[in-house]
Amino acid sequence: MTASLPPDYHTHTQLCRHAGGLPIDYARAAAARGIPEIACTDHIPFPDDPTPSIRMTREEFDAYLGHVREAQAAGSCEVLLGIEADYQRDLVQGHVQALLDAADFDLVLGSLHTGPFWDLAPDDPAATPEFVEQMNRTYYRRMAELADTRLYDVCSHFDVVKRTGVRAPETLLAEIVPPALDAVAAAGMAVEINTSGLNHGAAETYPSLQILAWMKERGIPITFGSDAHNPDQVGQHFERAVELAKAAGHVHRAQFRRRKKLLVPLA
């Protein structure tokens, strides 16, 4: 057990339909690892959902709240009520805001999941330099749009566009990533260090060390998220993530309560 691990602010449960366990299982797993608190952050339900296999339905939303309350009452560790609210242009002004008003959330993750980057293999003939450039430009423009909505507290897996190992040149990233970070900073958001990338083709955290350094220059605080889809993944690779944060110059992390951010020292 490692007592100095930070909170895990990105976990999923069986209501996501591609994960296992309930909030109480994640809380118990966190306590066993010496993690002081977790956030439950299942995917927000969508109307007429094009991908119903990855998220709860609106009818299950109350059950989600009940599962989180159960974990909070159990007292294994501090359990925050969160949600991962995917950014989609046609939903942010109505549906997403209505769901965020429906409960007293502690934090809201903003993320992008749609795009050709999700399944584009490095050896795919479609992964031409021109296509990769356009894919990355579009992705980071969308990330800036996400921040501009002011709906979210934390950017989730910020550079997940590299998920399969298809990477943009560093010169291109130096052009297109800073404007997205400027939007995040202007919105007062944090960015998580998401350790699931170490299990993907990217083979590194989201975001990279370089992006973490650019964040530090802009005063963007960090959180930590395993993106756990099973209780045994809570806090996975967090020791490595903490060292990465320190290497980029971060000395604080963000803590959330009722969507209010507080900076605390990074142990």
Q: In this structure, are residues 163 and 202 in contact, taking their beta carbons and an 8 Å threshold? A: yes
Average pLDDT of the chain is 94
pLDDT of residue 135: 97
Name the nearest CA neighbour of 185 among 218, 149, 210: 218
Q: Is the pLDDT of residue 1 over 70?
A: no
Neighbours of 85 (CB within 10 A): 28
Q: What is the β-pairing status of strands 37-40 and 78-86?
A: parallel
Q: Which two tokens stand for residue 31?
A: 């306590």
Q: pLDDT digits over 251-262, tens only? A: 999 999 999 999
Q: Which two tokens stand for residue 61?
A: 């939303």
**Contacts with 43 (C-beta within 8 Å, 6 or more apart), sequence order:** 12, 16, 54, 55, 56, 83, 84, 86
3-class SS of residue 145: helix
- The arithmetic mean of pLDDT across residues 12-39, rounded, is 95
Q: In this structure, are residues 38 and 7 in contact, taking their beta carbons and an 8 Å threshold? A: yes
pLDDT of residue 2: 46
Q: Which domains does the chain have, with CATH numbers?
A: 14-265 (3.20.20.140)
How many Å apart are CA 253 and CA 88, to the nearest integer?
Answer: 28
pLDDT of residue 93: 64
pTM: 0.95
Task: Tabulate helix, strand, coil % of the chain (nearest 5).
Answer: 40, 15, 40
What whole-number percentage of the chain has pLDDT above 90? 84
Q: Which two tokens stand for residue 179?
A: 């404007």
pLDDT of residue 47: 80
Q: pLDDT digits over 96-142, tens only? A: 888 999 999 999 999 998 889 999 999 999 999 999 999 999 999 99
Q: Is the pLDDT of residue 18 over 90?
A: no
Q: pLDDT digits over 165-213, tens only? A: 999 999 999 999 999 999 999 999 999 999 999 999 999 999 999 999 9
Q: Is the pLDDT of residue 231 over 50?
A: yes
Q: In this structure, are residues 226 and 238 in contact, taking their beta carbons and an 8 Å threshold? A: yes
CA atoms within 13 A on the CB side of 48: 3
